[in-house]
């Protein structure tokens, strides 16, 4: 089982856990170097509590991350204006819009630009899973929205067993990348028809570059979604 501590919550949990562990170990060192009633008491009573707390936090973080990566179409509900994820967050799952609407917002130099709006039947969040890079845009809802989430592991498994899904997703990624690069929609459609990218190797989603041939990819990542 491989667990990545990639999300913001996981990172905070890791910081808390390592801080508690450090405190406990320093108590131990104080006890070894200079044994007094105080250092012994701290090491014998407080340090075990800190270590157990650190392990519990770590286990909770690992479980949370593992579940996040193995989501299988869990349904999430969002109010209007709520962020589904933010630019720079780690990618744990892909989202499928069951109802409502979301907008993809690119943040650059503190300025927000809405680059796309997605509605029922569309999906987003797949690019970070394929490229193994942080989210390259913020996605927030513009109406009451119902999303189905698919964890990274299951998403990559889906791609490897359903080649047609791979093609569909790669088309979408290409279109979005070209839209981001300022290529007109009609041109993007033509390019899409003539140059379908090779699908990533099955089960190699962790390291395979998602869109090696996407224009604009080298200058800057395309919008999430």
Give the interface with another protein as residue ranges (CB under 8 A).
Answer: 2-6, 10-11, 14-15, 17-19, 21-22, 24-26, 28-29, 31-32, 35-38, 40-41, 43-45, 47-48, 51, 54-55, 58
Burial of residue 165 (CB within 10 Å: 0-12, 13-18, 19+) is: middle
Give the nearest distance from C-beta 24 to another protein in angstroms. 6
Nearest distance, CB of residue 58 and another protein, angstroms: 5
CA dist 195 and 213 (Å) reads 9
Measured CA to CA, the distance from residue 91 to residue 135 in angstroms comes to 6
Say if residues 97 and 121 touch (Cβ distance below 8 Å): yes
Q: Which is nearer to another protein, 12 or 117 (CB)?
A: 12
Q: Choose between 6 and 145: whose C-beta lies nearer to another protein.
A: 6
Query: Shortest approach of another protein to residue 72 CB, angstroms?
Result: 23
What is the nearest approach in angstroms of another protein to the Cβ of residue 11? 5
Q: How far is the CB of 36 from another protein (least distance, A)?
A: 4
- Stated length of the chain: 225
CA dihedral 59, 60, 61, 63 (to 10 degrees): 80
Question: CB of residue 8 vs another protein: minimum separation in angstroms?
Answer: 9
- CA distances (Å), 86 to each of 29, 53, 125, 200, in order? 41, 30, 11, 26
Please tell me what DSSP assigns to residue 39: H
State which residue, 36 or 113, has the beta carbon closest to another protein: 36
The residue among 213, 134, 202, 133 whose CA lies nearest residue 170 is 213
- Burial group, residue 70, by CB count within 10 angstroms (0-12, 13-18, 19+): middle
């Amino acid at each position: 089982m491989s667990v990545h501590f990639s999300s913001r919550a996981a990172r905070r949990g890791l910081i808390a856990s390592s801080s508690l562990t450090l405190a406990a170990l320093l108590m131990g060192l104080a006890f070894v170097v200079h044994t007094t009633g105080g250092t012994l008491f701290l090491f014998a009573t407080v340090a075990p509590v800190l270590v157990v707390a650190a392990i519990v936090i770590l286990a909770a973080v690992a479980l949370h991350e593992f579940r996040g990566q193995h989501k299988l179409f869990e349904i999430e509900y969002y109010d209007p204006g709520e962020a589904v994820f933010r630019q720079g967050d780690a990618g744990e799952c892909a989202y499928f819009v069951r109802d409502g609407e979301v907008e993809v917002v690119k943040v650059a130099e503190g300025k927000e630009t809405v680059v796309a709006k997605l509605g029922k039947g569309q999906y987003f969040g797949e690019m970070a899973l394929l490229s193994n890079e942080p989210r390259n845009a913020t996605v927030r809802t513009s109406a009451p929205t119902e999303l189905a989430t698919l964890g990274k592991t299951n998403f990559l498994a889906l791609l490897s067993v359903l080649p047609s899904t791979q093609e569909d997703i790669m088309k979408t990624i290409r279109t979005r990348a070209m839209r981001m690069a300022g290529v007109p929609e009609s041109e993007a459609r033509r390019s899409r028809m003539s140059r379908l990218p090779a699908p990533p190797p099955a089960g190699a989603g962790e390291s395979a570059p998602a869109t090696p041939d996407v224009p604009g990819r080298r200058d800057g990542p395309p919008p999430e979604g």
